[in-house]
Amino acid sequence: MDTRRLGYFVRVADVGNITRAADSLHITQSALSQHISALESDFKTRLLERTGRGVQVTASGRSLYRYAQGILRLEKAARIDLRAGDETPAGLVTVGLASYSMAPGVAVPLLRAVRERYPNIHLQLIQNLTVVMSQAVLLGQVDMALIYDPGYVKGVVFDHVLEEEFRLVTSIRAPHPAGRRDTVTLKEASRLDFIMPNELHTVRRVTDAAFHAAGLHCSVVAEVEPDTVLRDAVVSGLGATVLPLTAVRAHFAPDEVRVHRFADARLRTAMSLCTPEVQPLSHAAALVADLLRTLMLDPAVPVRGAG
């Protein structure tokens, strides 16, 4: 199979328009269409459907898209590794980071450590993917991922790193939910409107489960995925949220929000390093994984959720 065609297909799927994709690839539209047709002939299925505004990826196309990303990443990793030779550790290493967690807080320390110790390792840090991070590890789209531990997932292993404890976060502009106490009960919190990640996100599932166990309802008025949008919405007083303490410290200034510990419930979950179960990590990826584990134990790195 010509991996170049897979790259063309991924670009078309990302752009959603063959003409614009061809321009970005610096080839003609007809040539790009021929490459896509050849790919469809090779797989004996339609990958794209034309619409009035461009193209839409079919169900088969979405499956190929996920595998194509892994294949293209491995090809890029191989080229970097082979160019570097055997003198120093080298290669492409991709690390997935869970949103709304302490994971982004370790990104810059990890990048600094890799640049200082292994300058020939090309590090990619990714937070948003079309599939959940554990599946991205399984598909080879990322080498490893620092994520909330979802429990058993076939094909990957989870190395427990630490616990994340959640806090209620309200705008300094909004009325105090608990009579100026630092703690809040679930019943007091249930009177608030919440802005949260979607129902598939671990933060949301843990929060909903705690309210449900107490016989209460968490009133979610909006579901927001981008971290910055949720931050701005909470600061402006559009709603409260529940986040790990490390995420609160990373996204909010102390004078923007009030942070409350739950008095009658402990909302928490485990953070783990997710790696493939069968496929061994490359030498470069194994070195990055070791660095990541070391950083998670370093008290100088601001990623801990205690307090």
Neighbours of 42 (CB within 10 A): 11
CB 39 within 8 A of CB 4: no
Nearest to 292 by CA among 154, 157, 161: 161
Please determine, for residue 85, whether its predicted confidence score (pLDDT) is greater than 90.
Answer: no
State pTM to two decimals: 0.68
- Pairwise pLDDT comparison (89 vs 256), residue with the higher score: 256
Would you state the pLDDT for residue 306?
Answer: 42
The CA-atom distances, in angstroms, between 206 and each of 75, 202, 209 are 38, 6, 5
CB 161 within 8 A of CB 273: yes
- Pairwise pLDDT comparison (305 vs 192), residue with the higher score: 192
Give the CA-trace dihedral at 29, 33, 34, 39, to 10 degrees. Answer: 140
The whole-angstrom separation of Cα 143 and Cα 287 is 12
The whole-angstrom separation of Cα 236 and Cα 278 is 47
Q: Give tens-digit pLDDT for 271-300.
A: 899 999 888 888 889 999 999 988 887 756
Tally the C-alpha atoms within 13 A of residue 228's C-alpha that lie toward its C-beta. 0
Terminal alpha carbon distance of the chain: 54
Q: What is the percent of the chain with per-residue pLDDT over 70, rounded to a whole number?
A: 93
The whole-angstrom separation of Cα 148 and Cα 145 is 9
CB 293 within 8 A of CB 273: yes
Single-letter amino acid code for the residue at 126: I
The whole-angstrom separation of Cα 39 and Cα 50 is 16
- Pairwise pLDDT comparison (236 vs 83), residue with the higher score: 236
The whole-angstrom separation of Cα 88 and Cα 81 is 10
